[in-house]
Amino acid sequence: MTTTQILNPTAGPTLGGPNGLAAHSHVGGRTVRTSGVASHLHPVASSDVADHPVPTSKSELWKFAPLRRLRGLHADAEFTVGALTATWDAIDGVDVRVVSGAAGRALKGASDYLPTDRVTARLMEYNPDTLLIDVPADSTITEPVVVTIDGADASIAEAAHVLIRLGDHATATVVLKEQGSATVAHLVEILAGDGANLNMATIADWAADTVQLAHHHISVGRDAKVKHSLLTFGGDVVRTAVDVDYRGPGGDLEMLGLYFADAGQYLEHRIFIDHTPPNCRSEVLYKGALQGDHARTAWVGDVLIRAMAEGTDSYEMNRNLLLTDGARADSVPNLEIETGEIIKAAHASATGRYDDDHLFYLQSRGITPEMAKRLVVRGFFHEVLNKVGISSVIDHISDTVERELAISGM
Amino acid sequence: MTAAPELSEARLAQAETIDALSTYQFGWSDSDAAGTTAKRGLDEDVVRGISHLKNEPEWMLERRLKALKLFERQPLPTWGADLSEIDFDNIKYFVRSTEQKVTSWEDLPDDIKYTYDRIGIPEAEKQQMIAGVSAQYESEVVYNSIREDLAQQGVVFLDTDSGLKEYPDLFEEYFGSVIPAGDNKFSALNTAVWSGGSFVYVPKGVHVKIPLQAYFRINTENMGQFERTLIIVDEDAYVHYVEGCTAPVYRSDSLHSAVVEIIVKKGARCRYTTIQNWSTNVYNLVTKRTKAEEGATMEWVDGNIGAKVTMKYPSVWMMGEHAKGSVLSVAFAGKGQHQDTGSKMLHLAPHTSSEIISKSISREGGRSSYRGLVQVNPGAHHSRSTVKCDALLVDTKSRSDTYPYVDIREDDVTMGHEATVSKSSDDQLYYLMSGGLTEEEAMAMIVRGFIEPIAKELPMEYALELNRLIEMQMEGAVG
């Protein structure tokens, strides 16, 4: 059975309504959390919008983003009743539904998330409907849960909240497909219970007029395993921040990213992994290609290994391939480490053009220059795609990459 | 990470080894005759006073006053180290230690001579290892000599004040041309109150075969030292300039804020080596930048061992085709220290290349941060850049950060960045000890090996000093 439901069909409840955020202690209706780490990368987390001034191009976390093209989403654009729809096929054993009103508010911050920027603070205050994907404890769901989020109107500002919740020792695969025209602030909370195993992919393939400011928060349970893939293609401006916390030792996180920016497009990915419990692992691999005038991407990674996080094993890698003139890729892999008792902490970043040796080798085998370039790009992305491990997603992405390459006549 | 019981002691020995590297060896101070009379705080009168005492041309006074306004207007940087404890009103901005400059060692006042004896300047000179010695003591260069053959080649090696008097045209052309006063708050401060530093000019085609060396010392409590160095290496010339800093330990915080400007002309090469070993109450906030023209090469070799806070990012602006920039950096952050160091490489022309190699060791709660920027501007096609950062953490309470920025506005470039943070491995120790080394020897060897890529680029006497520091501590540990 396929279900399509409009998200936010009515205005959100008035502020100050019932609030069931059990995980936080509220003082005067305001919850604040400092990272405890002195660095320009860590704003104070707070539920109060007033604690998050409107970012400017000088704000550390917003300095790459084209603020003028965000239609006020980062500032005070008023969220309105929405045109976004969510569509999914029912799968036995998985509870997928839209939760609104007070019940929906109770789900905001269910992953112990507190906003670190204005847009998500405003989103949580506004309380849009929550698309809940609930997998009960101890269940194993083999078929991927696929939810398509479709935008229909880029002229209004909307907010959306998704909560993916896996109970202890549950196993599931979840795919979020984002498409259509929208101006949307988006919060995706991912809560993996102890010993849970989640493979999750987000395909952001928006129409060319879409502006999206997304925030993913991943809370990894004790001994849980989470694979998080983020595949970004469409849209005018798409900025996704991913924050990761571990709730206990033994958490294992693999993050994969693939993005393709065309002329005039701006795609940004910001990753923050907070290693607090000991013996957790994080491995990040993001690859991007850029083509056309003013194609821009920014990738900012930050791995924080706190003093108590002994036995941490962390690796971050970002690679960018510039296919034509006029494109620009920023890549900033940060590391903040407070203990020497770790297994490994390393990162690497590389940006460049085609490897001339590769092209020469292929051409010496009789392959045309165009085809040789195509093969190099396919090979470049292959490493990421191979690891995603969801066949429908791999097919979709392969097709999209071919479509992108056709744009530059390859 | 689990460790065999006998190796946990080794970890302790390692901490001592690292300790040895940054133990401050020159912690004495002389009687403070000149410093106590100097005025604290900064206003227009202080700036006019400095300029008047130095009998400077009008244009320099105007530059200073303009810079003072910029300094007052600019906020402290919000990133990097914590600078909130600097009390600009409690700093002496100019101290003159002797009224007359002297040209021979014997003419120096006894207490100054004693201080320098302890660092070993005369010996170094006797050994003919030093081409010219310019020793800065309390803001002004008091001792300056240069070998005659260099002078005959037309090489100029003066303190900056004399440089301004003797070469006013060169000075007016280049002063502030690489680092304008308004570049940042501390370059503005330096431009307003600068005093001392070195002025070097190497004529076309001249290769200075031995390093030019200058020793700097701060010796007045709460006294800022604002030296200003200007180095011009003309076409196809070569020079290696060596700056070394040691300072006595004092109670309250002191500020060192230098500006170093270097112009490397077409086909020329310049190497600038610093070993900074300020006592751990000094704020060391330095702006260093080079403009490298076509085919020119600039190499910064930068060691940061002392100081409470260091913020230093030697930069190369590659202005012409095939220009090259490189930075080799080693930092030790011990108890209470924050070494925020790195480099900025700006590719502004095609076929330029840059390389940054950074090594840091953090221990006893110290924090070392690599902070760098590689920027490839439009038109700088076929540029290449590699950045490698290695950090060694030896305990569970120290901190190491890596904040690399890569900003590419041109295609057809090749960029690479790598960083690893590690703990000295028990496997390495075990292997060395199985070969007959004691724990202490093995630890020393691991640490020496870690900094070897930097140490081998140092002039001999500096490398010796570094190694001696390790060995001294090891002797104690073994006994």
Interface test with A, best of B401, B409, B410, B450 (most A CBs within 10 A): B401
Percent of chain A whose predicted confidence (pLDDT) is above 90: 68
* Helix runs in A236-330, H state only: none
CA B392, B394, B399 angle in degrees (round to 5)? 70
Give the whole-angstrom CA distance, residue A201 versus residue A388: 8
Tell me which of A392 and B152 has the higher pLDDT.
A392
Tell me, what's the pLDDT at B222?
Answer: 41
Query: What is the model's pLDDT at position A194?
Result: 97
**Residue B352, pLDDT above cutoff 90:** yes
For residue range B288-314, list pLDDT tens digits in order: 999 999 999 999 998 888 889 999 999
- Closest residue to A335, CB basis, from B405, B413, B421: B421
**List of chain A residues whose C-beta atoms are within 8 Å of the C-beta of residue B419:** 333, 335, 346-348
CB B417 within 8 A of CB A348: yes
Q: How far B458 CA sits from the closest chain A CA (Å)?
A: 28
Of residues A141 and B127, more confidently modeled? A141
In the predicted structure, residue A287 carries a pLDDT above the cut 50: yes
pLDDT at B102 over 70: no
Strand extents, DSSP E, B40-187: 132-137, 140-146, 156-159
How confident is residue A324, by pLDDT bands cut at 50, 70 and 90? confident
Contacts of B447 in chain A (CB under 8 A): none
**Ranges of H-type helices in B130-289:** 148-152, 160-166, 168-174, 185-193
> Which of A57-66, A163-172, B28-37, B204-213 shows the lowest mean pLDDT across its residues?
B28-37
DSSP state for residue B207 in the 8-state scheme: B
Which residues of chain B have a CB within 8 Å of the CB of A342?
Answer: 1, 393, 421, 423
Distance CA B410, CA A261 (A): 15
Q: Cβ of A293 under 8 Å from any chain B Cβ?
A: no
Which among A341, A344, A353 is the nearest to B412, CB-wise? A353
What pLDDT sits at residue B112?
Answer: 56
Over residues B197-207, the mean pLDDT reads 93
Most confident of A12-21, A134-143, A326-335: A134-143
**Lowest mean per-residue pLDDT among A113-127, B251-265, B323-337:** B251-265
Asked if residue B252 lies in contact with residue B282, where contact means CB atoms within 8 angstroms, the answer is: no
Q: What are residue A41's DSSP bridge partners? A: none
Which is higher by pLDDT, B129 or B366? B366
Shortest Cα distance, chain B CAs vs residue A372, angstroms: 17
Q: Is B435 exposed, middle or buried (0-12, 13-18, 19+ CB in 10 A)?
A: exposed
Q: What is the pLDDT of residue B11?
A: 54
CB contact under 8 A, B414 and A310: no
Q: Which A residues 19-48 touch B at CB under 8 Å?
A: 38-41
Task: Please check the confidence at residue B434 and state whether its pLDDT lies above 70.
Answer: yes
Residues B228-247, buried b or exposed e (16+ Cβ, 10 A)? bbbbbbbbbbbbbbbbbbbb
Interval A253-283: pLDDT, tens: 999 999 999 999 999 999 999 999 999 999 9
Question: What does the mean pLDDT of chain A come to?
Answer: 90
pLDDT tier for residue B144 given thresholds of 50, 70 and 90: low
pLDDT at A49: 94
- The answer for A154, left when phi > 0, alpha when psi is -120 to 50, beta otherwise, is alpha
Q: What residues contact B285, with CB distance under 8 A and at least 6 apart?
A: B83, B186, B255, B256, B257, B309, B310, B311, B312
Buried b (16+ CB within 10 A) or exposed e, B269-289: bbbbbbbbbbbbbbbbbbbbb
Is it the case that residue A376 has pLDDT exceeding 80? yes
Quick one: which of A23, A221, A32, A27 has its CA closest to A112? A23
Query: What residues of A are in contact with residue B386 (Cβ under 8 Å)?
Result: none
Query: Cβ of A340 under 8 Å from any chain B Cβ?
Result: yes
- What gap in Å lies between CA A143 and CA A238, rounded to an integer? 29
Q: At what angle do helices B460-478 and B5-22 cross, to 10 degrees?
A: 140
- Residues of B within an 8 Å Cβ radius of A: 1, 78-80, 82, 362, 391-409, 411-423
Closest of A273, A283, A220, A278 to residue A246, by C-alpha: A220
> Across the interface, do B411 and A338 touch by the CB < 8 Å criterion?
no
Chain B residues with CB-CB distance to A315 below 8 A: none
The answer to whether residue A289 scores a pLDDT higher than 80 is yes
- Closest by CA to B302, choosing from B313, B292, B293, B294, is B313
Lowest mean pLDDT segment, chosen from A12-16, B50-54, B273-277, B341-345:
A12-16
Q: Measure the CA–CA gap between B66 and B193, rounded to whole angstroms.
A: 11
Residue B118 has pLDDT above 90, yes or no: no
| pLDDT at residue A32, rounded to an integer | 80
- The two tokens of residue B99 are 């009224």
The residue-averaged pLDDT of B320-334 equals 92
Interface test with B, best of A312, A349, A354 (most B CBs within 10 A): A349
pLDDT at A56 (0 to 100) = 93
Question: Hunting for tokens 């998704």 — which residue is that?
Answer: A162
Note the pTM of the prediction, 2 decimals. 0.80
Residue A381's pLDDT band (cuts 50, 70, 90) = very high
Least trusted range by pLDDT, from A222-236, A291-305, A317-331, B238-252: B238-252
User: Smallest Cβ distance to A341: which of B1, B416, B418?
Assistant: B1
Q: Is the pLDDT of residue A202 over 90?
A: yes
Q: Which residue of B has its CA nearest to A37?
A: B399
Is there a contact between A253 and A222 (Cβ–Cβ < 8 Å)?
no
Give the residue, A394 or B409, on which the prediction is more confident: A394
Taking the C-alpha atoms of residue A115 and residue A376, their distance in angstroms, rounded to an integer, is 40
Is A136 within 8 Å of A120 (Cβ atoms)? no
Spatial CA neighbour of B379 closest among B423, B337, B409, B421 = B409
- Lowest pLDDT segment from A59-68, A203-212, A336-345, B109-118: B109-118
Give the per-residue pLDDT at B121.
53
Looking at chain A, which residue has its C-alpha nearest residue B373? A332
**Residue B383: pLDDT over 50:** yes
The most confident of A175-189, A369-383, B218-232, B269-283, by mean pLDDT = A175-189
Nearest neighbour of B423 by CB, restricted to A60, A338, A342: A342
| Banded model confidence at residue B117, pLDDT cuts 50, 70, 90 | low
* Range of lowest pLDDT (A22-31, A70-79, A148-157, A357-366): A22-31
A173 token code pair? 């695969």
